[in-house]
Amino acid sequence: MNGLMGKILRVNLTEGTISEEEIPESIAKMFLGGGSLATKYLYDEVPAGVDPLGPENELIFMTGPLTGTPCPSAGRYSVVAKSPLTGTWAQANSGGFWAPAFKSTGYDGVIFEGISPKPVYLVCEDGKAELRDASHLWGLKTPETTETIQKELGDKFKVACIGPAGEKLVKIACVMNDIHRAAGRCGLGAVMGSKNLKAIAAWGTQKPKLADPEKFREVSKKQYDLIRDSMLKVGLETHGTNLLLDMVNVRGGLPTRNWQTGSFPNEERINGMALTENVLKDRVACFACPIACGRVSKIKTGKWAGKEGEGPEFESVVLLGSSTDVGDLNAITMANFLCNEYGIDTISAGSIIAFAMECYEKGILTKEDTGGLEIKFGDADMLVELTEKIGKREGIGDLLSEGTKRVAEKLGKGSEVFAMHVKGLELPAYDSRAVKITGLGYAVASRGGDHMTGYIQGPTFIDTPFLVVENSKIDDVYTPKPKDTKVLKDLEDALTMFDITGTCKFMGLMLDAKEWVDLISSVTGWEFGIEDFRKTGERAVNLSRAFNMRDGFSRADDTLPKRLTEEPMPEGPAKGQVIDQLDMLLDHYYEERGWDKKTGKPTPEKLKELGLDNVVQDLWK
């Protein structure tokens, strides 16, 4: 096959065996790669009711057909499993350099089964793979893990690994690669830890073949030229993703004090310009990326002076910063560094800490519960201390490491009202009371509180229509209309394709569907039109939905925290707004999707249309 290497590894950790399998071309044509192909394997091989931290759950790493090619920003991979945080289908996605390195070993992905009796790590090199003892790595943070493996194998090897949080089964643990890049969401680092799998080291010389190299170079050059001259590149290269903070704050949708309000009065202390002026050391780009939105940061003053790492990005600044009412950029940056070192999702970590602060403020958490700590909003030192305690599962951090949903269930006393999650996954950095259609995106996402599947935030909060979906503009952010649900559905189908192909959404949003089709067809050599582009994304969305429905999820789970549906925004541009039309939006969204309005399941007709005939019996017995 072209684009794809055509093979995956299967690692049985219980037995310590490794085998390789060819990917059937018929399956490759339907699912292409990335999260879609991984979900196909997960759905077929992991039955309903499986314990996410048990041996029957699979952990699947998968690259895409564009990963490792000269296409701009084609350096991404997906990790898929059943989530220990939510109990749902889960996907986390990351950039950097690990994915092209893994694909150059001659494999598109790897499936891990079972549980190793001792800590191990996988080494992949040019068509060979072996498990090695990782006892000496267990307990190391991610930078030390990466450095130790590279000393053993050579600097050319790229490493994806977990930190202490994954080992301790912290349910918001992530997979880190290239030291600073995170496959962050859904707690998949805990799945890796549950399998006693510390790391995957990869290096090779094999390159994906291009079916039509001349056409591919032509389309790729157009992409580079388009991005190089774009305002997107100028803004992201200058201030990184945190340039979004001012845009969201001016809409009144910046989560502040655990979403009690949407306006942060100290934005100038933590926005993109502040980060650039105070902690930025250098800019960093992922594989084949012309944008370089990554930040290398160094704390220059105060108790953490000299500490250096990558980040923080926009989501991290908001959830660790305004959401906790902390306006100290040094503390936010330090907390971000700790998340990377321990291997923790910054979004979930900040959200959980903000939730704990409000519980303490309301007397739901007491000093007796916290081990004597005063967990107050705005306390910069406490932000850093709690981040580390979560990473270590130490003291109150042991409770918080279970995720907001479980903490609220344990504490009760009305805390469920302001536990800011959907299906157990903590919400990202956009308050939907300021742009209501985004609330629908959170509610229906298969993995829970997710902003990246459809990124409806772009054409609403940022006011940027996406070329990949025509008419992606939303007319009225406070009064969503039935037709807006089609915009969300189309964005989900199209943007899912970026994860499938192994590319970055920033690059992807600059192109229209025709350019994407030209890329995919020139790489694979398959006939692949615009309708195929959209159907492939739609198929992936429906299969992840089916995974959840088979495991007992329903329309009742497509909901939002009561703070968003019952508490009007108290101040700012969105003052008085509340999400009060969710049921209407769900009805119209389900209709657009071809899902049953009563249960939320994809209908038999829709499943058959997408070639998912085997799923019909599972959902409609």
Distance CA(364)–CA(370), nearest Å, equals 11
Alpha helix segments (H runs only) across 124-184: 142-153, 164-167
Instruction: Judge if 591 and 449 occupy the same domain.
Output: yes
Please name the residue that has the structure tokens 């952010």: 477
Over range 582-605, report the average pLDDT: 98
Note whether 33 and 113 are same-domain residues.
Answer: yes
In angstroms, the CA 434 to CA 438 distance is 9
Is the pLDDT reported for residue 476 higher than 80? Answer: yes
Residue 151's contacts (CB-CB under 8 Å, 6 or more residues apart) are: none
Quote the mean pLDDT of the chain.
96
- Contact indicator for 80, 62 with CB cutoff of 8 Å: yes
Which range of residues forms the domain containing residue 198? Answer: 7-203
Task: Indicate if 461 and 419 belong to the same structural domain.
Answer: no
Pair (296, 191) in one structural domain: no
Residue 223 lies in a domain: no
- Asked, for residue 564, whether it belongs to a domain, the answer is no
- Least confident range from 205-219, 228-242, 493-507: namely 228-242
Query: In this structure, what CATH number is given to the domain that contains residue 184?
Result: 3.60.9.10
Q: What's the rounded mean pLDDT across residues 486-492? A: 97
d(CA 295, CA 115): 36
Q: Say what the pLDDT of residue 46 is.
A: 98
- Predicted confidence (pLDDT) at residue 525 exceeds the cutoff of 90: yes
- Same-domain pairing of 25 and 142: yes
Q: Is the pLDDT assigned to residue 225 strictly greater than 90?
A: no
State the alpha helices, DSSP H only, in 412-529: 437-444, 458-461, 484-501, 505-508, 513-524
One domain, residues 148 and 251: no
Shared-domain flag, residues 447 and 397: no
Q: Are residues 462 and 391 in the same domain?
A: no
Q: Is 217 among the domain residues?
A: no
> Is residue 510's pLDDT more than 80?
no
* Alpha-carbon gap, residue 260 to 262, rounded angstroms: 7
Question: Which of 179, 203, 227 finishes a domain?
Answer: 203
Q: Would residue 575 count as lying in a domain?
A: no
Residues 461 and 609 in one domain: yes
Tell whether the model's pLDDT for residue 471 goes beyond 90: no
Look at residue 508 and tell me whether its pLDDT is greater than 90.
no
As given in the structure block, the two tokens for residue 355 are 């939730």
Q: How many CA atoms lie within 13 A of 611 on its CB side?
A: 13
136, 513, 508, 449: which is closest to 315 by C-alpha? 449
- In a domain, residue 26? The reply is yes
Residue 392, CA distances (Å) to 141, 403, 428, 461 in order? 11, 14, 23, 36
pLDDT tens figures, 122-177: 999 999 999 999 999 999 999 999 999 999 999 999 999 999 999 999 999 999 99
In the chain, the number of structural domains is 3
Res. 601 pLDDT band, cuts 50 70 90: very high
CATH classification at residue 360: 1.10.569.10
Same domain for 448 and 321?
no
What share of the chain in percent tops pLDDT 70? Answer: 100
Per-residue pLDDT of 244-274, as tens digits, reads: 999 999 999 999 999 999 999 999 999 999 9
Phi–psi pair at 561, nearest 5 degrees? -60, 145
pLDDT tens per residue, range 557-575: 999 999 999 999 999 999 9
Burial of 233 (0-12, 13-18, 19+ CB in 10 A): buried
Task: Give Cα 235 distance to the centre of its chain.
Answer: 22
Same domain, 140 and 278: no
Query: Which pLDDT score, from 0 to 100, does residue 96 have?
Result: 97
Of 153, 169, 203, at which residue does a domain stop? 203
Q: What is the pLDDT of residues 351-378, one digit of tens each?
A: 999 999 999 999 999 999 999 999 999 9
Query: Six-digit token pair at 494?
Result: 């199209």
Query: Quick one: pLDDT at residue 226?
Result: 82
Q: By 3-state DSSP, what share of the chain in percent is helix, strand and coil, each rounded to 5?
A: 45, 15, 40
pLDDT for position 381:
98
Q: What is the pLDDT averaged over residues 465-487?
A: 93
**221 lies in a domain?**
no
Q: How far apart are CA 602 and CA 590, in angstroms?
A: 8
Identify the domain boundary among 426, 456, 481. Answer: 426
For 9-61, what is each residue's pLDDT tens digit?
999 999 999 999 999 999 999 999 999 999 999 999 999 999 999 999 999 99
Q: Examine residue 488 and state whether it is found in any structural domain, yes or no.
A: yes
What pLDDT band is residue 470 in, cutting at 50, 70 and 90?
confident
- Residue 504 included in any domain: yes
For the stretch 317-360, pLDDT in tens is 999 999 999 999 999 999 999 999 999 999 999 999 999 999 99
75, 117: one domain: yes
User: Residue 506: pLDDT above 90?
Assistant: no
